[in-house]
Amino acid sequence: MTSEVGTLFSQALPTPVPHRPDYVEIRREWEGQRIDNFLLGRMKGVPRSHLYRVLRRGEVRVNKGRVRPSYRLQEGDLVRIPPLRVAKSVPAERPREPELRRLADAILFEDARIIVINKPSGLAVHGGSGLSYGLIEIMRVLRPKAQELELVHRLDRDTSGCLLLSKRRSALRELHCLMRAKAVSKRYIALLAGTLPEGETTARVPLRKSVLRSGERVVRVDQAEGKPAETLFRPLRKIGTLTLVEAEPVTGRTHQIRVHAAYLGAPVAGDEKYGRDEVNRRLRSAGLKRLFLHASALSFQPGHSDHPVRVAAPLPAELERVISNLDRARAL
């Protein structure tokens, strides 16, 4: 495993840059993959920030046109890859044994094509932005024979729960098709700093994502230029002025649940970006030290099996303790 770790984990050192762009025709097994993920997988050692910079500048072209990082490749697309500074592979920090064991123990479901893992809060799904590695890099160490292991979707760093990975390109394409068809059900448990009406509440407002100079992503409601977004909220119980809910995102926009909850006047507890500072300070006294958002269930019907995949991740112990503390204090 040591040699594989040295290959997987590297830091960028300058090397000579080729003078001519490379042209790649997309084969069927690459269809459906995002252009940014395709480039990250192909250009090992290129700093992530540099790759996104050339995408924004339009130096990467698909069929002679500019594309966004979210563009999904189609069979037959011709991708122009500009000369990029590729890094040498040199040994870098590797995950420690406790981290490897923690993720090995967090696998909820696995077959020949997919893995569902119970992602811990505080662990980024991938490395970059000062992080030597994230969940996907650790999983590639744990599953060295799965050469095509990829994230199917993402969870915010502070969000815990069910995260889906594909072990084959064909599985990645299939799952992306299911997600676009809204055939993958995701359920979350969240504690909201506010109250919602009884029954189901639908937040159906468009969202627009912006990236600040620092690289931080910020999402806002934008009726004019936002992308359609829809989330269903179902109250489970009230705890004083707080509400424990099940949230079901119908679409899959960045920070969708968090922004929609804030739009409804009941932001997710512990949310430092979209939440209420005074409520978060009070909740810290109840032991809340993270975002109270947990991907509790995931279900879909895979094409390779007659049986649906249904996976559940129990609420983490630290969030259960927060609820118990709030109950004992008779809420806030």
**CA atoms within 13 A of residue 259's CA, in its CB half-sphere:** 22
Reading the block at residue 183, the tokens are 């055939």
Amino acid at 239: I
Q: How many Å apart are CA 171 and CA 27, to the nearest integer?
A: 15
Collapsing DSSP states into helix, strand and coil, what is residue 34? strand
Those residues with Cβ within 8 angstroms of residue 65's Cβ, 6 or more apart along the chain or in another chain: none
Strand ranges, E, within 240-288: 242-249
Q: Are 228 and 201 in contact (CB under 8 A)?
A: no
- 271 counts as catalytic: no
Catalytic residue (choose from 77, 156, 158, 271): 156
DSSP character at residue 170: H
Q: How many Å apart are CA 52 and CA 13, to the nearest integer?
A: 18
Cα–Cα distances in angstroms (integers) from residue 202 to residues 34, 198, 231, 264, 275, in the given order? 29, 12, 6, 9, 19
Those residues with Cβ within 8 angstroms of residue 254's Cβ, 6 or more apart along the chain or in another chain: 207, 209, 217, 219
Cα of 18 vs its chain's centroid, Å: 33
Q: Which residues are catalytic?
A: 156
